[in-house]
Amino acid sequence: MRAELSMAGIPSQKKKGLNSLITDLKRYKWLFLMALPGLLAIFIFSYLPMFGVIIAFKEYRVADGIIGSRWCGFDNFKYLFSTRDAWNITYNTIFLNALFIITGTIGGIILALLVNEVKNKWLVKFYQSALFLPYFISWVIVSYFVYALLSFDMGIVNKILISMGIEPIQWYNEPGLWPAILVAVNLWKNVGYGCLIYLAGIMGIDGDLYEAATIDGANKMQQIIKITIPLLSPLIITLTLMSIGRIFFADFGLFFNVTFDTGTLYSTTNVIDTYVFRSLRFSGDVGMASAAGFYQAFVGFILVSLSNLVVKKINPDRALF
């Protein structure tokens, strides 16, 4: 009898859920309409291409097409990991992206705190524009900025070193220096973007909290530590988790253009994306390139899931999902 009642209640529950969905669509129709272009873009460029993942398990031939090409199992993955560079490019990708995440997060928060202390609205707009401008500059242009600084013969840095009586450095022949150089270049270009996001989060904090803290005798540093950072932590965690999800995806423009694809720098600047590009350019092995992309996406999913699980164990309210 109880089972019959529970089964009878299923259609009514489904009908109730459908009615609730229709009500929400009517109530928030303009919001859904505003979100429609973004949802379509995600569907077209993120979900439809997932069909192509089968290329990673096929011996792809243009004449046969994706469907007609012969299945080869995990042969493409074996080829990717059998090369002597496989673990080097994996380490470089994770290590450098981890440095980018750490420095970008810290730099963005510090700059946001500094800009927030500027009371002149015209200066605030100027600082925001100046910090955000490098984000729109192409990596090709940035690469020539870097070359103007680090060129052996005409570079500004070497000229300064010579004027100080120090021997000039052949920057493009010193792979050990490039992790620091790439971190600095990436920070210069992208820190403004993160700064604006954190600044928006800071501006959303209730000003009464700071007034109450000031009355209680808290100085600026104490207010930042006790109020700003804790209230920003959900935003910091969310952005960090999203960055961790793409830690296996390197910024191709940064690693390929800024280094001028110099072979002597491969030991510290060769990452998965540039390695796959070079392999595809010289060998035309689409299956191996697809296998590398699938490997990046799968490991990125595992990392963001594990990171989110750790956050959920510490504080469930701060988890991404």
Pairing relationship of beta strands 58-59 and 70-71 according to DSSP bridges: antiparallel
Under DSSP, the state recorded for 58 is E
- Pairwise CA distance, residues 296 & 315, whole Å: 28
In degrees, to the nearest 5, what angle opens at C-alpha 236 toward C-alphas 189 and 88?
A: 60
Residue 69, pLDDT > 80, answer: yes
- Pairwise CA distance, residues 204 & 141, whole Å: 35
Under DSSP, the state recorded for 59 is E
Model pLDDT, residue 137: 94
Choose the CATH number for 89-318 among 1.10.287.130, 3.90.190.20, 3.40.50.720, 1.10.3720.10. Answer: 1.10.3720.10
- Pairwise CA distance, residues 202 & 197, whole Å: 9
- Which of 252, 267, 302 lies closest to 91 in space, CA to CA? 267
Element (DSSP H or E) covering residue 71: strand 70-71
1-5, 37-41, 206-210, 232-236: least confident range:
1-5
131-184 pLDDT, tens digit per residue, is: 999 999 999 999 999 999 999 988 999 999 999 999 999 999 999 999 999 999
Q: Rg (Cα) of the chain, in Å, rounded?
A: 26
Count the neighbouring beta carbons within 10 Å of the beta carbon of residue 111. Answer: 20
**Domain residue ranges in the chain:** 1-32, 89-318
Beta-carbon contacts of residue 290 (< 8 Å; ≥ 6 apart): 52, 53, 55, 56, 60, 76
11-15, 22-26, 115-119, 270-274: least confident range:
11-15
193-233 pLDDT, tens digit per residue, is: 999 999 999 998 988 898 899 898 888 899 999 999 999 99
- Pairwise CA distance, residues 67 & 49, whole Å: 14
